[in-house]
């Protein structure tokens, strides 16, 4: 059965992992987003007390 012979498949797996671990992260980390996130100004609302009669 050719599936049980690890000689060609092991080298394919090692090569694929080298691509995933070396080349792909470099491309992902060098990606620059065209829309950089900006922090929005937070407006603090003044809490007003209620003027209800409590009796």
20 occurs within a structural domain: yes
- Give the residue among 14, 33, 11 at the shortest CA–CA distance from 22: 14
47 occurs within a structural domain: no
12 occurs within a structural domain: yes
CA distances from 19 to 25, 31, 43 (A): 9, 17, 48
Q: How many domains does the chain have?
A: 1
pLDDT of residue 14: 92
50 occurs within a structural domain: no
24 occurs within a structural domain: yes
- Which H or E element spans position 27? helix 24-29
45 occurs within a structural domain: no
pLDDT digits (tens), the chain, 55 positions: 556 777 778 888 999 999 888 888 888 888 777 777 776 676 776 777 777 777 6
> Which domain does 11 fall in, by range?
1-30
């Amino acid at each position: 059965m050719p599936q049980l012979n690890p000689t060609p498949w092991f080298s394919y797996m090692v090569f694929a992992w080298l691509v995933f671990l070396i080349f792909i992260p470099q491309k992902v980390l060098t990606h620059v987003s065209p829309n950089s996130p900006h922090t929005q100004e937070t407006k603090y609302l003044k809490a007003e007390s209620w003027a209800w009669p409590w009796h």
